[in-house]
Chains A and B, each alone.
Chain A
Amino acid sequence: MIRIVLPRLLRVASFRFAAFYVAVFAGSALVLGIAVFFEARSALQQQMTARIETEVTFLRVEFQSEGLAHLIDIVRKRGQGASALDYLVQDRTGAHLAGEVPATPGLTPGWTRIEVPQASEDGGRPERVRALVSDLGDGVLLAVGGDLQQVDNLEKAIATAFLWTIGLAAMLGIVGGVLLSRAFLRRVDAISRTAEAIIDGDLTRRVPTRGTGDDLDRLAGTLNHMLDRIGILMESLRQVSSDVAHDLRTPLTRLYQRLEGTRTHAQSMADYESAIDAATGEAQRLLDIFSALLRIAQVEGASPRSGFGDVDLSAVAETVADAYRPDAEEAGHALTATITQGVVVSGDKELLTQALANLVENALRHTPPGTRIDIRLEGSTETGARLSVEDDGPGVAETDLPHLTDRFYRGERSRTTPGNGLGLSLVSAVAELHGARLELDAVKPGLRVVLFFPAAEKSSHPNRQPSI
């Protein structure tokens, strides 16, 4: 377990951050420690040097005014007292005259180090003395020194304090880093477990959030939002597949039965011919459904604005109104068009034409003779356009309204009229591709379908205009 967890821990970003900070902290503490160490040592040494120089000056004056005997006397007295300094007076022959430091051969004036053997204290370890040797005249040498042990002790104390500090800080840093990283890893693991469950097919799983609003929580929130969206898309895809399966099975079955029936029962050439005509018609209807579905899928899958150009929506509306007017009149409908000229939107002309044609065809097909159908284009290129197709026919039940754009959906009243229930699905897909808002209103009597187009090339917000 440890073998598996530790290397992973080392790879976790938060652990690396922690380790990095520990290293930076230890480094700066070390630099600080070294600075303090040398500063303290040099201060102590300066202090000792000053004391020794003062003492030497004093003793030199005493020796010059009072003589050697007086000097020896003072040094002896100092040695009996609790003086922090060590002394040595020796004559020209090197003989020891006074002081606790033993006679040392080869002393020359100036700063030097003298080792003083310690028989009793410190287990015989020699005491190191930093001494100032001066020639007082007449071959008399005076050495006054300070014990280096004090400095050593202080140095050790400072070094120890810093080493402890650094060690403790590093320990705390590493432990903190490990704890942080494990917490982080747990949450990352939760996210990957969710992802794996989803890969395995459970699309209902969501990444747990803690409600703290931290970065990981926000990431989890975004992931969940994405999963919701994918879920909706999958659901609609599933719905489409089952719709397709259902709506194609019926005509396919009919086709199959008709052909099989002909095979068994046809008596004459005429029977065969009429059966083949019927089968061809059925196949044509199937192909129509397929191409309508394909078209919708292509429009839905197209990337917005690819292949878009400036489309004269007024001209499109004019063409469609023109194209359907004779047809409408023959069917006893009144087709009127109120078109504002020069309205340009950014889009795909072919798709917009087809969408409007679908709306007009719907109105023609689902209303009785005598119905008024009005195509209306308002707005302008700068403010966005409002394109509507309205009829005063029997309208659509309120309950049907939200489903009209569903694939294969056909309201109760339209069950008996020809059509495949895909016309408005395409209109809806085209509207979405163009960033246009599609609105279906039961206007009692009749149905009004409105497309709100955004202003060309400026904002993507649909222009909201008051309904008439």
Chain B
Amino acid sequence: MKVLLIEDDQETSAYVARGLREQGHVVDLAATGRDGLFLATEGGHDVLIVDRMLPGLDGIGLVQAFRGTGVKAPVLFLTALGGVGDRVRGLDAGGDDYLVKPFAFAELLARVNALARRPPLSDTPTVLQAGDLEMDLLGRTVTRGGKTIDLQPREFQLLAFLMRNLDRVVTRTMLLEAVWDFHFDPKTNIVESHISRLRSKLSQYGGAELIHTLRGSGYALRAPPPDDP
């Protein structure tokens, strides 16, 4: 996929670009808001990564500007601010996600992947499926191999988020934000304990492991290959 990175700090820019290229993405670079605006309006990008503080035109003004010219690609803000209400301002301006520096590359990659394949709102399905696991978002029921699985409301949200991002890596931070609306880093194993409960509930009637732990980056829900026993 094609990513536009608008970032004035050379080190960060090189670090992110290198990582994304290693993952097989095409990366365009801009070091100022003006260059960024020019490249963004040329179009063709799947995701825009925009630093909040740029010389010339700041990130928020920039995103407002190219949203005004009809650029619809999702925007991930990078910021060193991370202040109270700062994230809200970024999202209000037309950003889709927000990442506070310093960040691990795995975190950035997971978020970029999630953004790039985010389906338009109207296409959001009401039934999610992964192998023999089925989730009815309206009826709020979960079945595996036809057997109903009882989930706590929070576990249901957790599973729904994982299923919407089927086969994609989601990080611990993404889960904290999406499921609990926690925008800080808890020093305990909240996510781990919830995942392990969810795992044991999902496999209570047997079946292959669906939720995979990826050391150092996060979790991914994967449907087992059909021929898997």
Docked-complex contact A418 and B184, CB < 8 angstroms: no
Least CB distance, A273 to chain B, in whole angstroms: 13
User: Which A residues, 329 to 350, have Cβ-Cβ distances below 8 Å to chain B?
Assistant: 329-330, 348-350
Contacts of A298 in B (CB 8 A): 83-84
Please measure, in the bound complex, the distance between the C-alpha atom of A351 and the C-alpha atom of B182, giving whole angstroms.
10
B185 CB within 8 Å of chain A: yes
B188 CB within 8 Å of chain A: yes
Please measure, in the bound complex, the distance between the C-alpha atom of A307 and the C-alpha atom of B184, giving whole angstroms.
18
B10 CB within 8 Å of chain A: no
Q: How many residues of A contact B (CB 8 A)?
A: 30
A115 CB within 8 Å of chain B: no
Docked-complex contact B186 and A307, CB < 8 angstroms: no
Docked-complex contact A330 and B88, CB < 8 angstroms: no
Please measure, in the bound complex, the distance between the C-alpha atom of A381 and the C-alpha atom of B181, giving whole angstroms.
23
- Of B32-40, B135-143, B189-197, the stretch lying at the interface with chain A is B189-197
User: Which B residues, 63 to 117, have Cβ-Cβ distances below 8 Å to chain A?
Assistant: 82-85, 88, 100, 102
Instruction: Summarize B's interface: helix, strand, loop or mixed.
Output: loop
User: Which B residues, 119 to 155, have Cβ-Cβ distances below 8 Å to chain A?
Assistant: 152, 154
Task: Indicate which residue in A306, A327, A354 contacts B189 across the interface (CB closer than 8 Å).
Answer: A327
Task: Indicate which residue in B183, B185, B186, B193 contacts A350 across the interface (CB closer than 8 Å).
Answer: B183
Contacts of A306 in B (CB 8 A): 85
Contacts of A319 in B (CB 8 A): 180-181
Docked-complex contact B197 and A291, CB < 8 angstroms: no
Docked-complex contact A326 and B194, CB < 8 angstroms: yes
Docked-complex contact B82 and A350, CB < 8 angstroms: no
Please measure, in the bound complex, the distance between the C-alpha atom of A306 and the C-alpha atom of B181, giving whole angstroms.
20
A394 CB within 8 Å of chain B: no
Task: Indicate which residue in A294, A295, A357, A418 contacts B182 across the interface (CB closer than 8 Å).
Answer: A357
Docked-complex contact B154 and A322, CB < 8 angstroms: yes
Least CB distance, B43 to chain A, in whole angstroms: 35
A53 CB within 8 Å of chain B: no
Given pairs A330-B189, A361-B187, 7 additional interface contacts (CB within 8 A): A287-B102, A306-B85, A322-B154, A326-B193, A354-B183, A361-B188, A365-B187
Contacts of B187 in A (CB 8 A): 361, 365, 418-419
Least CB distance, B193 to chain A, in whole angstroms: 4
Contacts of A322 in B (CB 8 A): 152, 154
Please measure, in the bound complex, the distance between the C-alpha atom of A329 and the C-alpha atom of B154, giving whole angstroms.
16
Please measure, in the bound complex, the distance between the C-alpha atom of A365 and the C-alpha atom of B194, giving whole angstroms.
18
Docked-complex contact B180 and A350, CB < 8 angstroms: no
A323 CB within 8 Å of chain B: yes
Docked-complex contact B102 and A307, CB < 8 angstroms: no
Closest B residue to A331 by beta carbon equals B188
Docked-complex contact A361 and B84, CB < 8 angstroms: no
A409 CB within 8 Å of chain B: no
Least CB distance, B194 to chain A, in whole angstroms: 6
